[in-house]
Amino acid sequence: MSSLIELREIFFQECEEQLEDLTDGLNALDAAPEDADPDQINSMFRAVHSIKGGAASFSLDAIAEFAHEYEAILDELRSGKLVITREILAVFYRAADHLADLISCGAAGTDPDPDALTRQISEIESLSGTGLKPAQTDDFLAAFVPLAMGAEGPAPADVGMKIPHFDITFAPTAELYANGHEPAHLFRELESFGPLKVNVELDINAAWDQSDPAVTWHLNLATDRPENEIREIFEFAEPYANFQILCSQRANPVLPHPMAAADDMAAVETVADTDQLGSGETESPIVILPNQTSKPHAPRKSTVRVDLDQVDELINLVGELVITQSVMSQSLTEHSGVVSRKVAATLDDFKSLTRTIQEGIMAIRAQSVKPLFQRMARIVRETAQVAGKEVRFNVEGEDTEVDRIMIERLVDSLTHILRNAVDHGVETGPHRVQAGKEEAGSITLSAAHRSGRVVIEVTDDGAGVRRDKVLASAIAKGLIPKTAQLSDGEIDRLLFMPGFSTVEAVTNLSGRGVGMDVVNSEIRRLGGRVAIISSPGEGTTISISLPLTLAVLDGMIVDVGDESLVVPISTIVETIRPDASKIHQIGPSSRMIAARDMMVPIIELGQVFGYEGRSAPPNGHILIVVEDEKGEHFALAVDQIRDQRQVVIKSLESNYGHVPFVAAATILGDGQIALIIDLDEITHGISSTTSASGTHKRAYA
Amino acid sequence: MSISILTIDDSRTMRDLLRLTLEEAGFFVTTAEDGADGVQKLTDANPDVIITDINMPVMDGFEFIETVRGSGRNASVPILVLSTENSAELKDRARTVGATGWIVKPFNDTRLVSAIRRVARL
């Protein structure tokens, strides 16, 4: 089934899961140190324990050694010898990080930093209340400690030397057999120590239905092995027998083996070949049936590992299936006018099946953001440590599931945002106290599904964006003209401009050559957007909004001029056929509509896309009220709504680069190509011209 | 007829490693993820030897051994504990609940196999 190399891979995969469990436990402890849940501690212990076991099996000594130390201290915590404090917790966190480092070194096949290992080990050991014995390490690394099973081959018996003899009396109870023991096996082990004489004594007077075997073994073993090794062989069997060892220091020469001289006991039978001893049993607890070949096969595994490319290929194919299905539905309706009820029902089934398959396949790719968030927790810890700030890190919605490609591609961006938050967002302790805040800063990383998208936010309770500084810096760098009048939101958005950096001396933490502009473009590449919401003195939120998947979209197909466009359903609030009286002309080119007690600006989609010459008269328009990511409402004027369906996203970027106001394209059922509108880009163009007053706190780049 | 082994370990790595080692040795291997899973698979696996971890979620090794010893047909199967632990206290407990032997992880392939051959009642 699997090779050792594959097993190694599985081991490292499993390590990831265990590190997750460990971090979960630490977080739980962090949240409520005083009433630690024993189950949680146990599961932390188990995680480290399993890592240790696996690592040792693959000779990953550094991991095994460190995990061993960690486990030992967790054991003290478990048994209550160690009481958790903030300081201890910090060491635990660092140890978890170090363990993760060791594991990634192991996975990469590189050598871990020996100094760090020593340092971390001594840090852990310093916690121990009982004092860990380093000897334990060697102890557990001893490959195999045979107890009931004896060890190597026979000990060399030096003929003529004074070898001690042991007289062993062993009278088993029925329990012995019931616990899986077999006298013959035990004796064979003994025999590996040296020549063994075996006599068996049967009590012929015992009642036939007595449950205990009426048998006593008398053994004589000549060996120079110490008595405790002999006892070890019987270690597990001893409770189920009357067992005695007498060491006689008789200076007997080693008896030839096998030997048959009977002692003065009532020897009924003398057997030298211990292999035959099994016949002495009075019961036969195990009956091996002859038809054992028909045993069931190994249980099925609960997970399958699939190549990501294969999943992607499937997603692509299912996308084509969705298109084909809609082409078929459409052409059936068109050709026969009315489709028979049966065909219609089948078509419906087909449609919902296709959809279910699609969702199922998307779900395979979905992954919870938890591992990502845990990685980020570490970033925050380390950054805070270097920056000398105390930061509390909170996580919300870590079970939110996101396409795994997005998770992978979010790592760098989130890392950067969080480093920024620690470095530039949260103030230093004294500054915070001065500002009347708690000394420790707080950073929250959250994920949630919101109106068909995934929103990931990083919120700090720092000083907020220093707009004066940002503005000055942008002017100094020549990014904006001196005379520029910018709204607060626009100033905040300057942070996303290429080549911008607020702190003069770039620290080695956040300023690693990656600016927020890189974050911005990376998120955009995922079909997402970054927003910044900041209030002076209160903090900053960086909000990333991402599509659930990169493959499909629920869209409303609308006609504008002679073209078809797709409006993402997730953005639509309502559709209205407006009363002319409710449309108000504001200025020469903008109009508003009163919808639900709100004045909503109207956007002529035809105008935006340059179709206006072909547009129908405005009064005949249908308005689609949409909400953009800032939560602002706009009414898109279109000629006609065709239908609502799931469309397969085909990116234009690889062929055309970025097309303004267009997110992507799709192929409709009739083979026609329709553009999917980029609502935020459209509304942003509008709002920056209508809201120059600077009331917008949010600004999307 | 090959020896049938039931191995119980919550670590997938360990399970796979045991399976690989034991199948190579020509044993028939059934794996279970914890004690409860092991109990469930006991009848079908009909093992000649059971190898169990101690520290497992849901049902740990001790409880598992106790359950097996109190069960019907497979009650007296030799049970080897395979653990990274090696303390007298734990071994005592294992003995009390009815373990047949104790092997310390990480295991050495040939020794594990010979240990199994030695306790198997064939």
A649, part of any domain: yes
B76 closest CB neighbour out of A142, A177, A296? A177
A685 Cβ under 8 Å from any chain B Cβ: no
CATH code at position A115: 1.20.120.160
CATH code at position A255: 3.30.70
Whether the pLDDT of residue B69 is over 80: the answer is yes
Give residue B1's pLDDT band: very low, low, confident or very high (50, 70, 90).
low
Question: What is the gyration radius of the CA atoms in chain B, in angstroms?
Answer: 13
Do A148 and B45 make contact, defined as CB atoms within 8 angstroms?
no
* Residue A233: Cβ-neighbour burial (10 angstroms; 0-12, 13-18, 19+): buried
Min distance A568 CA to chain B CA atoms (Å): 43
DSSP letters for A34-64 = TT--HHHHHHHHHHHHHHHHHHHHTT-HHHH
**Which residues lie closer than 8 Å to A655 by C-beta, 6 or more apart?**
none
Same domain for A515 and A601?
no
B81 Cβ under 8 Å from any chain A Cβ: no
Domain range for A335:
308-366
Same domain for A384 and A344?
no
A285, part of any domain: no
- Residue type, position A291, single letter: N
Contacting A residues, span 203-262, partner chain B, CB-CB under 8 Å: 235-236, 238-239
Same domain for A395 and A516?
yes
C-alpha separations of B97 from A186, A286, A458, A470, B28 in Å: 19, 19, 52, 71, 26
Min distance B112 CA to chain A CA atoms (Å): 8
Same domain for A490 and A378?
yes
Do B101 and A236 make contact, defined as CB atoms within 8 angstroms?
yes
* Total CB pairs under 8 A between chain A and B: 159
Q: On the CB side of A202, how many CA atoms lie within 13 Å of its CA?
A: 10
The stretches in chain A having pLDDT less than 50 are 1, 131-160, 250-301, 502-513, 688-701
Q: Which residues of B touch A56 (CB under 8 A)?
A: 84, 105-106
Min distance B14 CA to chain A CA atoms (Å): 6
A139 Cβ under 8 Å from any chain B Cβ: yes
Place of tokens 């001289």: A261
Min distance A211 CA to chain B CA atoms (Å): 15
pLDDT attached to residue A692: 35
A54 closest CB neighbour out of B11, B41, B99? B11
Mean of pLDDT values over B7-33: 89
pLDDT attached to residue A620: 67
Min distance A190 CA to chain B CA atoms (Å): 12
Where a domain ends, among A366, A388, A410?
A366
Place of tokens 């146990």: A42
**What backbone torsions phi and psi does residue A642 show, to the nearest 5 degrees?**
-90, -65
- Tell me how far the alpha carbon of residue A116 is from its chain's centroid: 25
Domain range for B76:
4-119
- What is the total count of domains within chain B? 1
> pLDDT tens digits for A226-253?
888 888 888 888 878 888 888 775 444 4
> pLDDT tens digits for B70-103?
877 788 889 999 988 778 888 888 888 888 888 8
A286, part of any domain: no
B29 closest CB neighbour out of A145, A182, A298? A298
Same domain for A315 and A235?
no
**What backbone torsions phi and psi does residue A560 show, to the nearest 5 degrees?**
-135, 120
Residues B6 and B28: beta-carbon distance below 8 Å: no
A665, part of any domain: yes
Q: Where are the alpha helices (DSSP H) in A466-535?
A: 467-476, 488-493, 516-525
CATH code at position B77: 3.40.50.2300
The helices-and-strands tally (H runs, E runs) of chain B is: 5, 5
Pairing verdict, β B49-52 and B4-8: parallel
pLDDT attached to residue A456: 93
Same domain for A123 and A22?
yes
Same domain for A125 and A219?
no
The C-alpha atoms of residue A333 and residue A327 are separated, in whole angstroms, by 10
Same domain for A425 and A507?
yes
Same domain for A570 and A511?
no
CATH code at position A666: 2.30.30.40
Average pLDDT, chain B: 86
Same domain for A261 and A381?
no
pLDDT attached to residue A7: 79
Residues A413 and A519: beta-carbon distance below 8 Å: yes
Contacting A residues, span 54-83, partner chain B, CB-CB under 8 Å: 54, 56-57
Q: Where are the alpha helices (DSSP H) in A153-205?
A: 174-178, 183-191
- What is the total count of domains within chain A? 5
A156, part of any domain: no
A303, part of any domain: no
pLDDT attached to residue A2: 55
pLDDT attached to residue A517: 77
Where a domain ends, among A529, A547, A565?
A547
B107 Cβ under 8 Å from any chain A Cβ: yes
A301, part of any domain: no
Contacting A residues, span 434-493, partner chain B, CB-CB under 8 Å: none
Do B115 and A146 make contact, defined as CB atoms within 8 angstroms?
yes
The C-alpha atoms of residue A129 and residue A83 are separated, in whole angstroms, by 10
Structure tokens at A269: 């039978």
Same domain for A508 and A617?
no
B110 Cβ under 8 Å from any chain A Cβ: no
pLDDT attached to residue A198: 81
A153, part of any domain: no
Structure tokens at B122: 């064939």
